[in-house]
Structure 1
Amino acid sequence: MRELNLDRLRTLVAIVDLGSFAAAARALHLAPPTVSLHISELESRIGATLLLRQRGRVRPSGVGETLVARARQLLADAEQALEEVKRQVQGLEGRVRLGASTGAIAYLLPQALEMVGQSHPGIDVQVMVLTSEETLARLSGGTLDIGLVALPQAAVDGLSVKPWRRDPVMAFVPAGWDAPRTVTPQWLAAQPLILNAPNTRLSRLTAEWFAAAGEHPAARIQLNFNDAVKSLVAAGYGATLLPHEVGQREMGVPPADPRIAMRPLKPKLWRPLGIAYRAGEPEPATQYMLDALWALKQA
């Protein structure tokens, strides 16, 4: 026996607690020779006597007392580990690692997190701000469980990516501007612009929207944090294009800043999002989070 075996340690502890090999055998439902074999193997592994027979009762030696103390802790740790895993299997506890963009985290994710928190308070959802490419890479690498990603995405082996939402992209302009009721690429390209950084799917979507009309405007500044972008719009620094998540009022999102006017686009532009996760049957905690996200899916 090259490594300590928990069954052998359990036998040792039972003998010390009950005072005899026979009593330990009865309590552990083992044959007496098996109990003796467990102790012989332990003593051979340790290289010392672990138990002493004194006045009809078995007691631990000095080395035995040290090993028994350690054995109790190891057995308790093993029992706790099994209990924690059991609770995860039952969906009572668990960890879910989720990646999403700042926009989804700000407006779409909080309601799903609240749903999971109310129904399964033992589940810990860890959220990371990532681009869609980073999210898919981490899902493939096993360091993420769920991702909210922009669509379309190329197929990735071992991952399932399903459509989730399709929200309109709107023009956000300073309220003091004389903006038309419907904003066109030609009008917007002539204004100072605040746009998303070029490594995002939204940046590519808006660039294609402008390019289809023959426009290729340069932004005054490029940011990935939508609330910071809106703050600059409110300050009159420029206009921007951002998704408007349908149903924000129902999600508890505060009313729009009165310094910002929101206008629909012509032609219309949509930001599709999908839910990505590893193929196969998810763990219970991951499934509960997926269920909460699917509850926010647009009809």
Structure 2
Amino acid sequence: MTSPDPSFAALSAKPKSSMRDLLLRIGSAAVLIPLVLWVVVLGDVLFLAMISVGVALLCIEWGMMAAPKSASRIACAVAIAALISLFTAYLHHPILSFVVLAFGSLCAGMYGHKLKIGWMAAAYGVLYIGVPAIILMWLRQTDNGRDWVFFAYGIAWASDIAAFVVGKTVGGPKLWRRYSPNKTWSGFAGGMIAGMLTAGTLSDLTHLFKHDTSASFVGLLVALATMAGDLWESALKRRFGVKDAGALIPGHGGLLDRVDGLMFAILAIGGIRLLVMLGTVI
């Protein structure tokens, strides 16, 4: 009896593996999304607790990815700086929180240099994780803060899901083959359209924007930021030589793998919110 062709066996197993990963993704999302939205609605201490846990987990993954030989030390340094700045923002001192974050980044960078792993692994990690956390806390504390956070989450999630589904279904030319060989231009277009449609729907529900055109433009910008965040994290993983940032969420990899686009979406929404407060845009 001849042995089965190993390449055929691998090919046969691939659809099963893809289906299993898809089911895990759906199951994880079905549990996590309602929980996250519920905490956003409640706000206050529970919201702080959720972001704090997320920041701590992201710092652990950052340490493992950026400095595997000193993962626990770098994770602690990054977490201390990011969490102190987050607590400062929670106390309604957003500007001071950025000052604290910058100082923490400097201290973490010096610590990384002392460990002979390079200052950038620690210093950049503080800013990469801390800035979106501060802006997210600030967003929730502004007028209609719940709705602004929903905008960030909703557009980021819709763009990410649409990009994944359309990219897998349609395929086509690769978006950035060097750093993210699985992403396609079709997926990118699907993500942009989903972001615009989601923003229009959320605007009708929340009335944050007076015109549908404004909401669609916001959706386009935030969706673009989401795609950029996803690509940026792919480049970081290539830089550090890892496939996934972690294995925390079944079917999704690490937490950083799931919130990379959301982190950039929060930056975009934060900028738009500031412009609205200044009366620059409506």
| TM bucket, shorter chain | under 0.3
Between the two structures, name the one with larger relative contact order (CA 8 Å, sep ≥ 6): 1
| Bigger share in helix | 2
Give the TM-score normalised by structure 1. 0.19
Higher normalized strand content (fraction of residues): 1
TM-score norm. by structure 2 comes to 0.20
